[in-house]
């Protein structure tokens, strides 16, 4: 990809090199935060993780930094983003343990098989084409980030099929989508076990959430202390900065 059509940026305070399109959808703080949420301190490392709708691979790359021995499977339907995901794996020395599958995340179990992962993560499309929400600017961004009428249910169903026994599915979505996500989890046999809100500021309503679900008995949901992105000024809070810079 021509460098005038892409930029090389950094994640986790420069620990990760990351090429992404210069226009359209670009990585936001939800990607490294999802990686941090998926692997809290003390959690058993997975042998294999799958990133559904991976884009150029930001979430998987952040998890690869935390999980140096894990096998990485990235699933992305957009050809440009899949190409960049492969480039990003190579840039960070992960070619030998990573694979990018250029396919719709909703049908990837046909090639990957069932029960292959201990951890599935997804930062799925945030724009609802069927519900009248504003679409992303640019064809590539809209194509990669647009939900269709099926909503979140297919992502949850695919995650359920990919998870091995005791496996975990972690995803992020806009705050207003919580009822839809909970319904999708219920419809696909996944039970929410952890939930964490993300607020732009401590005094502002949450704009996103992170949720972990498993195929398990109902109940046991833990709502963790929320994250606030910024304090009184424009700087990130100390907690967010440590997470985004890969210091914890």
1, part of any domain: no
Distance between CA 19 and CA 206 in Å, rounded? 29
The CATH number covering residue 239 comes to: 3.40.50.150
52, part of any domain: yes
Among the ranges given (13-22, 144-153, 227-236), the one the predictor scored with the smallest mean pLDDT: 144-153
Residue 153, CA distances (Å) to 8, 184, 197 in order? 34, 4, 21
pLDDT band per the 50, 70, 90 thresholds, residue 147: low
Distance between CA 244 and CA 248 in Å, rounded? 9
16, part of any domain: yes
Residue 126, pLDDT score:
62
Distance between CA 115 and CA 182 in Å, rounded? 22
Look at the chain and report how many structural domains it folds into: 1
pLDDT, tens digit (0-9, with 9 covering 90-100), for 204-244: 999 999 999 999 999 999 999 999 999 888 899 999 999 99
Full residue range of the structural domain in which residue 60 is found? 6-244
Residue 137, pLDDT score:
38
pLDDT above 70 for 44: yes
16-21 and 98-101 strand pairing:
unpaired
Q: How far apart are the first and last CA of the chain?
A: 33
Residue 11, pLDDT score:
95
141, part of any domain: yes
Sign for the pseudo-dihedral over CA of 135, 174, 41, 13: positive
Q: What percent of the chain has pLDDT over 90?
A: 73
Residue 218, pLDDT score:
93
Residue 108, pLDDT score:
85
The answer, as to whether pTM is greater than 0.85, is yes
The upper half-sphere exposure of residue 153, i.e. CA atoms within 13 Å in the direction of its Cβ, equals 9
């Amino acid at each position: 990809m021509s460098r005038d059509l892409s930029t090389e940026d950094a994640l986790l305070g420069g620990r990760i090199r990351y090429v992404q399109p210069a226009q359209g959808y670009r990585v936001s703080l939800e990607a490294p935060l999802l990686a941090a949420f998926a692997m809290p301190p003390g959690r058993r490392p997975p042998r294999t993780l799958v990133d559904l709708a991976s884009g150029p691979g930001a979430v998987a790359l952040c998890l690869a930094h935390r999980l140096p021995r894990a096998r990485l499977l990235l699933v992305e339907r957009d050809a440009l983003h899949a190409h960049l995901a492969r480039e990003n794996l190579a840039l960070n020395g992960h070619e030998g343990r990573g694979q990018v599958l250029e396919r719709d995340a909703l049908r990837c179990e046909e090639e990957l098989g069932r029960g292959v992962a201990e951890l599935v993560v997804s930062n799925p499309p945030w724009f609802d084409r069927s519900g009248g929400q504003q679409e992303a600017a640019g064809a590539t961004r809209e194509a990669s980030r647009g939900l269709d009428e099926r909503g979140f249910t297919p992502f949850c169903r695919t995650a359920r099929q990919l998870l091995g026994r005791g496996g975990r599915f972690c995803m992020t979505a806009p705050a207003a989508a919580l009822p839809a996500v909970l319904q999708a989890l219920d419809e696909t046999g996944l039970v929410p076990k952890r939930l964490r809100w993300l607020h732009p500021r401590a005094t502002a309503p949450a704009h996103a959430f992170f949720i972990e679900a498993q195929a398990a008995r109902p109940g046991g949901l833990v709502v963790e202390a929320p994250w606030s992105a910024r304090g009184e000024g424009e700087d990130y809070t100390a907690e967010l900065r440590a997470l985004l810079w890969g210091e914890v």
